[in-house]
Amino acid sequence: MEPGSAANKERQRDTAVRRRLLLRLQADLQQLRADLTRVREETQVLLDLECVRSLSKEEAARSSALQRQAERLRWELRRLFAEFEEIHRQR
């Protein structure tokens, strides 16, 4: 076995693992963006309604649920960013 080939294989394996992690993060981010867009659009519809009239109980409950979901998605975005930074530091 050539000197350094074991180290080279380990480096290649580490690179492949990082690449898979980054691809997963990319897919998670794309889903998160889609979810955030949907929440923003639904929230805008409710805000537009609220400008014209009072929201019904169901609409008010939906508005609250959307606020909670938006906060959860923002938390998830921070988590994904922290995970990306960790993977990037491992280079």
pLDDT at residue 5, as a whole number = 87
CA distances to 11, 20, 33, 80 from 15, in Å: 6, 9, 26, 19
Residue 38 one-letter amino acid: R
| pLDDT per residue as tens digits for the range 20-64 | 999 999 999 999 999 999 999 999 999 999 999 999 999 999 999
Q: CA 71: distance to chain centroid?
A: 12
HSE toward the beta carbon, residue 24, CA cutoff 13 A: 10
pLDDT confidence of 2, banded at 50, 70, 90?
A: low
Q: What is each CA distance from 82 to 71, 75, 77, 89, in whole angstroms? A: 17, 11, 9, 11
pLDDT-derived band at 3 (thresholds 50, 70, 90) equals low
Whether 11 has a pLDDT exceeding 80, the answer reads yes
